[in-house]
Amino acid sequence: MVKFLRPAAAALAAVLVIWAAVAFLARDERPAPPLGGAMGNFTVAGAGSPAPQTTLGAKDGTTTTLAAFRGRVVLVNFWATWCAPCIKELPSLARLQAQLGGAGFTVLALS
Protein backbone atom coordinates (compact mmCIF):
# COMPACT_ATOMS: atom_id res chain seq x y z
CA MET A 1 0.00 0.00 0.00
CA VAL A 2 1.34 3.44 -0.97
CA LYS A 3 1.08 6.20 1.62
CA PHE A 4 0.56 9.72 0.34
CA LEU A 5 2.14 12.78 1.94
CA ARG A 6 -0.03 15.45 3.43
CA PRO A 7 -0.47 18.45 1.10
CA ALA A 8 1.84 20.71 3.16
CA ALA A 9 4.58 18.08 3.29
CA ALA A 10 4.19 17.41 -0.43
CA ALA A 11 4.50 21.13 -1.19
CA LEU A 12 7.62 21.39 0.98
CA ALA A 13 9.15 18.37 -0.73
CA ALA A 14 8.40 19.90 -4.16
CA VAL A 15 10.03 23.19 -3.14
CA LEU A 16 13.13 21.37 -1.90
CA VAL A 17 13.42 19.36 -5.11
CA ILE A 18 13.05 22.51 -7.22
CA TRP A 19 15.60 24.37 -5.06
CA ALA A 20 18.10 21.51 -5.42
CA ALA A 21 17.62 21.44 -9.19
CA VAL A 22 18.13 25.20 -9.49
CA ALA A 23 21.23 25.06 -7.27
CA PHE A 24 22.63 22.21 -9.38
CA LEU A 25 22.01 24.01 -12.67
CA ALA A 26 23.29 27.36 -11.43
CA ARG A 27 26.58 26.11 -10.03
CA ASP A 28 29.67 27.90 -11.24
CA GLU A 29 31.97 25.60 -13.17
CA ARG A 30 34.36 28.28 -14.40
CA PRO A 31 37.98 27.55 -13.56
CA ALA A 32 39.79 29.65 -11.00
CA PRO A 33 41.78 32.53 -12.48
CA PRO A 34 45.33 31.61 -13.44
CA LEU A 35 48.02 32.45 -10.96
CA GLY A 36 50.83 32.06 -13.48
CA GLY A 37 52.47 34.75 -15.56
CA ALA A 38 52.20 38.26 -14.15
CA MET A 39 49.60 37.10 -11.60
CA GLY A 40 52.11 34.60 -10.21
CA ASN A 41 53.91 37.53 -8.59
CA PHE A 42 50.76 38.92 -6.96
CA THR A 43 50.98 39.35 -3.21
CA VAL A 44 48.27 40.60 -0.93
CA ALA A 45 49.25 43.85 0.75
CA GLY A 46 49.44 43.89 4.49
CA ALA A 47 48.02 46.53 6.74
CA GLY A 48 48.81 49.99 5.49
CA SER A 49 50.24 52.90 7.33
CA PRO A 50 48.64 56.30 7.86
CA ALA A 51 48.96 58.72 4.96
CA PRO A 52 51.52 61.45 5.43
CA GLN A 53 50.42 64.81 6.78
CA THR A 54 50.11 66.73 3.54
CA THR A 55 48.38 70.00 2.83
CA LEU A 56 46.25 69.92 -0.30
CA GLY A 57 45.39 73.10 -2.17
CA ALA A 58 42.13 73.50 -4.07
CA LYS A 59 41.73 75.54 -7.23
CA ASP A 60 39.58 78.02 -5.28
CA GLY A 61 42.54 78.80 -3.02
CA THR A 62 41.37 76.86 0.06
CA THR A 63 43.52 74.17 1.66
CA THR A 64 42.79 70.93 3.48
CA THR A 65 44.69 67.91 4.76
CA LEU A 66 44.19 64.19 4.32
CA ALA A 67 43.30 64.02 8.01
CA ALA A 68 40.11 65.94 7.17
CA PHE A 69 38.89 62.80 5.38
CA ARG A 70 39.42 60.45 8.33
CA GLY A 71 36.60 57.94 8.74
CA ARG A 72 35.48 58.16 5.09
CA VAL A 73 36.12 55.97 2.12
CA VAL A 74 38.21 58.15 -0.21
CA LEU A 75 38.80 57.37 -3.85
CA VAL A 76 42.05 59.18 -4.64
CA ASN A 77 42.61 59.78 -8.35
CA PHE A 78 45.99 61.11 -9.45
CA TRP A 79 45.74 62.83 -12.81
CA ALA A 80 47.69 65.26 -14.96
CA THR A 81 46.49 68.24 -16.95
CA TRP A 82 48.36 66.96 -20.03
CA CYS A 83 46.91 63.41 -19.80
CA ALA A 84 44.02 63.03 -22.28
CA PRO A 85 42.62 59.79 -20.72
CA CYS A 86 42.80 61.44 -17.28
CA ILE A 87 40.81 64.43 -18.48
CA LYS A 88 38.30 62.15 -20.21
CA GLU A 89 37.57 60.28 -16.96
CA LEU A 90 36.99 63.41 -14.84
CA PRO A 91 33.26 63.69 -15.73
CA SER A 92 32.69 60.09 -14.60
CA LEU A 93 34.46 60.85 -11.31
CA ALA A 94 32.28 63.94 -10.88
CA ARG A 95 29.16 61.79 -11.47
CA LEU A 96 30.41 59.24 -8.93
CA GLN A 97 30.90 62.01 -6.37
CA ALA A 98 27.44 63.41 -7.15
CA GLN A 99 25.79 60.00 -6.71
CA LEU A 100 27.70 58.60 -3.73
CA GLY A 101 29.52 61.55 -2.20
CA GLY A 102 28.68 62.60 1.31
CA ALA A 103 29.71 61.93 4.87
CA GLY A 104 30.96 58.40 4.11
CA PHE A 105 32.50 58.70 0.64
CA THR A 106 34.56 61.28 -1.24
CA VAL A 107 36.25 61.40 -4.63
CA LEU A 108 39.55 63.27 -4.32
CA ALA A 109 41.16 64.14 -7.66
CA LEU A 110 44.76 65.28 -7.28
CA SER A 111 46.69 66.89 -10.12
Digitized pLDDT (tens) for each residue of the chain, 111 residues in all? 445 445 555 555 555 556 665 566 666 566 666 667 777 777 777 777 877 888 999 889 999 988 888 888 999 999 898 999 989 999 999 999 999 998 899 999 998
Q: Whole-angstrom Cα distance, residue 72 to residue 108?
A: 11
105 contacts: CB under 8 Å, gap ≥ 6: 72, 73, 74, 75
Given this model, what pLDDT does residue 5 score? 47
Given this model, what pLDDT does residue 90 score? 92
Given this model, what pLDDT does residue 22 score? 59
Domain 56-110 has CATH 3.40.30.10: yes
Of 53, 69, 79, the C-alpha closest to 102 is: 69
Given this model, what pLDDT does residue 53 score? 85
Q: Using CA atoms of 91, 93, 95, 99 in order, give the dihedral in degrees to the nearest 10.
A: 180
Given this model, what pLDDT does residue 98 score? 95
Q: Whole-angstrom Cα distance, residue 78 to residue 107?
A: 11
